[in-house]
Amino acid sequence: MTHSQPKTVRAFFDTLAGKLDPEAAEGLDVVYQFDLHGADGGQYLVQIRDGACQVSEGTHPDPNVTLAMSGEDCLRVLNGQVSGTMIAMTGRLRISGDMGLAMQLASLFPSLRP
């Protein structure tokens, strides 16, 4: 059985909450802000608290981590076509805030790994 990958950033974020590994998120209370520019851009909050994930559009006044990149690059990373590390190394991803939490993001959503 094949599952289709989301074709837009919005479609991806609509399904993200169900992909959280609750064990990996145990004890966390963090907010990830995605600031995406370009054709498939937008602003999204991913809040992880008590092993649950809530995703919404918009901005948070004080996120723990902000990830800024193009919507196209975000979709490629989230669909496992390219690593976030590679995008960051080429300067197309800017991370501000808690770098440790940024690095932990992949372990929270293991099904997204390439």
Q: Is residue 48 part of a domain?
A: yes
Ramachandran assignment for 92, one of left (phi > 0), alpha (psi -120 to 50 degrees), beta (any other) = alpha
User: In this predicted structure, what is the pLDDT of residue 64?
Assistant: 98
Tens-digit pLDDT profile for residues 95-110: 999 999 998 988 898 8
Res 1 pLDDT > 60: no
Report the domain count for the chain. Answer: 1
Instruction: Name, in order, each residue with C-beta under 8 angstroms of 91's C-beta and a sequence gap of 6 or more.
Output: none
Q: Is residue 112 part of a domain?
A: no
CATH number of the domain residue 34 falls in: 3.30.1050.10
pTM of the model: 0.90
Tens-digit pLDDT profile for residues 41-86: 999 999 999 899 999 999 999 999 999 999 999 988 877 788 888 8
